[in-house]
Amino acid sequence: MYNRIRGLREDRDMSQRELAAHLGMSQTGYSKYETGENDISTNILKKLAIFHDASVDYLLELTNERKPYTRTNANQPRNTP
């Protein structure tokens, strides 16, 4: 999973600092996600999936199919960073 989230960030030519700011956290905190030092919370995992337009299963490496599932109204992202 950690290589996958790093690869998605690098595909967007983003620094850890830029993505961390988008997620509302420090660069150090985000870096620990990419190295596997800290587990990723469900909230951050959902934000990453929405940001990268990918399914959580893809981020978790449970599938190689990146396309997210169709979201229901209850699962629509809120206007939060």
pLDDT for res 7: 94
Confidence of residue 66 (pLDDT cuts 50, 70, 90): confident
Looking at domain 2-65, its CATH architecture is: Orthogonal Bundle (1.10)
20: tokens are 């961390």
Domain boundaries, the chain: 2-65
- The whole-angstrom separation of Cα 18 and Cα 53 is 17
Lookup result for tokens 């996958």: 4
pTM value is 0.78
- The whole-angstrom separation of Cα 28 and Cα 52 is 20
- For the segment 15-50, what is each residue's pLDDT rounded down to a tens digit? 999 999 999 999 999 999 999 999 999 999 999 999
Full DSSP string of 6-30: HHHHHHTT--HHHHHHHHTS-HHHH
pLDDT for res 70: 73
Confidence of residue 76 (pLDDT cuts 50, 70, 90): low
